Amino acid sequence: MCGILGYTGDKQASDILLAGLARLEYRGYDSAGIAVLDNGAVKVVKNKGRLTALEEKIKSGYDVAGNCGIGHTRWATHGEPSDLNAHPLWSDDMSVVAVHNGIVENYREIKNMLANHGYAFYSQTDTEAAVKLIDFYYKQEKDPLKAITKAIKVIEGSYCFVLLFRDFPGEVWGVRKDNPLIAGQGEGESFLASDVSAILQYTRQVYYLDNMDIVQLKKGVVRFFDTDGYAKPKDITTVTWDAQAAEKGGFEHFMMKEIHEQARAVKDTFGSVFHSGKIDLKESGLTDETMKGISQIYIIACGSAYHVGAAAQYIIEDLAKIPVRIEMASEFRYRNMPLIKDALAVIISQSGETADTLAAMRLAKSHGIKTMAIVNVVGSTIAREADNVFYTLAGPEISVATTKAYSAQLIACYVLAMELARVKGTITPTYYENLIGELQSLPEKIDSILDESVRLEEIAGRFVNARNAF
């Protein structure tokens, strides 16, 4: 969901990658890394934290010489931010090295399948499963394109992969689905990037990849293939945006960009708990057993997350018939209210660091109440300390006024309400199925509403000067 880059040409790849990643910093990230392919050796440097820390690390004595490489800034979705979980990730013999933006939804199934073939895993990421799946096919086919086409028929979710194959010097490969990727063509050099702003200083000649396009870079050559491995012609475009507009994906400001990312945020959040036609909260740690015993819910949050809670209160009470109290975290922590032991405290926070919300959660825990955090930042304090965690997968939100994180939190609450209702038997299986269908159709509906920008502007124009709303 953050930054991704690939380069091949005559320059030092690390210079281009680090400069490009710096241009993508504004998107927010928790770790950064690069890999350079040089004379049959892959050199990887990565770490948790800022890009400057990566640069320092490289300066401290890492050899990253080479003219072909990939780079990444990570916003963790699976596995906490750490040096190990940072990208690039590799297959055990370094045949395949990759960076990834997005989510591999069926990574558990892939891991299980690969474990049966002797694969072991060193990180907690979903990405490693995909990298090793590509490696699995690569070992059979000895051909990057065939390995990629086979793997993407198995991988479910949203992704953009940029890859190096150790035995294919000077080549960078990429593929995308529901995550942005562009290819840039320069004089004797070529680029891949998640965002055009990262390469604008080198070229304005770019190709926009469609979903499921596969791309191969060689020095100054960009080729495309379809999912069956057939060559695919593509038109080159000259970018006229300036760097600032490019950062915002052509939108006027970040909030507008994030409004338009809502469909993806909702789809990813629901997709992360929806497997083989069923909602599955196993990963959050919340079991049917626990849900059965809950007789009261406290929703604890601040600011916009509190408003999500206010909506969730109606949804949970309506579907699951469990009494819900919505509590402002700052009040909850100082108020001395009688608390019911077999309650579930649902803690909502985008950052997972909201001070009052964290203190309120600790208070609830000290009363022996089970906690379920709905947070957007993997490995954040609230996520670490809560008994159960439901990650929203909205990606980093730059605008202060929340849009996509709010929508994703609301989806998490719907899912929770539906699961409580299923376990308690308060809704019929048919109604439950209908709700699943509705949740699945939401992303498309969101997009179709946003497509009506003229009408939306007209409506906004009517209310823009209102000081109060009722």
Beta strand pairing status for 296-301 and 324-328?
Answer: parallel
> Judged by CB, which is closer to ligand GLU: 180, or 285?
180
> Judged by CB, which is closer to ligand GLU: 20, or 186?
20
> Judged by CB, which is closer to ligand GLU: 87, or 260?
87
> Judged by CB, which is closer to ligand GLU: 28, or 220?
28
Q: Kindly identify the residues of this chain, within the stretch 45-74, that bind ligand GLU according to CB under 6 A.
A: 74
Nearest-angstrom CA–CA distance, 67 and 443: 41
Rounded least distance, CB 78 to ligand GLU, Å: 4
Nearest-angstrom CA–CA distance, 203 and 238: 9
Cα–Cα distances (Å) from 223 to 162, 181, 387, in that order, read 14, 14, 48
> Judged by CB, which is closer to ligand GLU: 49, or 303?
49
Specify the DSSP element, H or E, that contains 221. Answer: strand 221-225
In the set 14, 77, 371, 409, which binds ligand GLU (CB under 6 A)? 77
Confirm if 189 and 68 have CB atoms less than 8 A apart.
no
Q: Does 75 help bind ligand GLU (rule: CB under 6 A)? A: yes
> Judged by CB, which is closer to ligand GLU: 2, or 193?
2
Confirm if 200 and 246 have CB atoms less than 8 A apart.
yes
Rounded least distance, CB 250 to ligand GLU, Å: 21
Q: Does 392 help bind ligand GLU (rule: CB under 6 A)? A: no
Beta strand pairing status for 221-225 and 157-165?
Answer: unpaired
Confirm if 220 and 188 have CB atoms less than 8 A apart.
yes
Q: Does 158 help bind ligand GLU (rule: CB under 6 A)? A: no
Q: Which stretch binds ligand GLU (CB under 6 A): 37-45, 75-83, 362-370, 414-422?
A: 75-83
Rounded least distance, CB 159 to ligand GLU, Å: 8
- Return the beta strands (E) in 312-437 as ranges: 324-328, 343-349, 370-375, 388-391
Q: Does 1 help bind ligand GLU (rule: CB under 6 A)? A: yes
> Judged by CB, which is closer to ligand GLU: 32, or 294?
32
Provide the residue type at 310 as one letter.
Answer: A
Residues in the chain: 470
> Judged by CB, which is closer to ligand GLU: 186, or 396?
396
Rounded least distance, CB 81 to ligand GLU, Å: 9
Preceding peptide of 88 cis, ω within 30°: yes
Rounded least distance, CB 99 to ligand GLU, Å: 8
> Judged by CB, which is closer to ligand GLU: 131, or 442?
131
> Judged by CB, which is closer to ligand GLU: 123, or 371?
123
Q: Does 2 help bind ligand GLU (rule: CB under 6 A)? A: yes
Q: Which residues contact 116 (CB under 8 A, 6 or more apart)?
A: none
Question: Binding pattern to ligand GLU, positions 108-147, x when CB under 6 A?
Answer: -----------------xxx--------------------
- In this structure, what token pair is assigned to residue 44? 């990887």
Rounded least distance, CB 301 to ligand GLU, Å: 25
End-to-end CA, the chain: 36
Rounded least distance, CB 157 to ligand GLU, Å: 9
By CB atoms closer than 10 A (0-12, 13-18, 19+), residue 273 is buried
Rounded least distance, CB 308 to ligand GLU, Å: 23
| Nearest of 236, 150, 226 to residue 191 by alpha carbon | 236
Rounded least distance, CB 176 to ligand GLU, Å: 12
Buried b (16+ CB within 10 A) or exposed e, 319-358: bbebebbbbbbbebbeeeeebeeebbbbbbbbbbebebbb
Q: Kindly identify the residues of this chain, within the stretch 93-112, that bind ligand GLU according to CB under 6 A.
A: 100-103
Rounded least distance, CB 24 to ligand GLU, Å: 11
Specify the DSSP element, H or E, that contains 222. Answer: strand 221-225
> Judged by CB, which is closer to ligand GLU: 85, or 269?
85
In the set 46, 78, 177, 257, which binds ligand GLU (CB under 6 A)? 78
Sites of contact with ligand GLU (CB under 6 A): 1-2, 74-79, 85, 100-103, 125-127
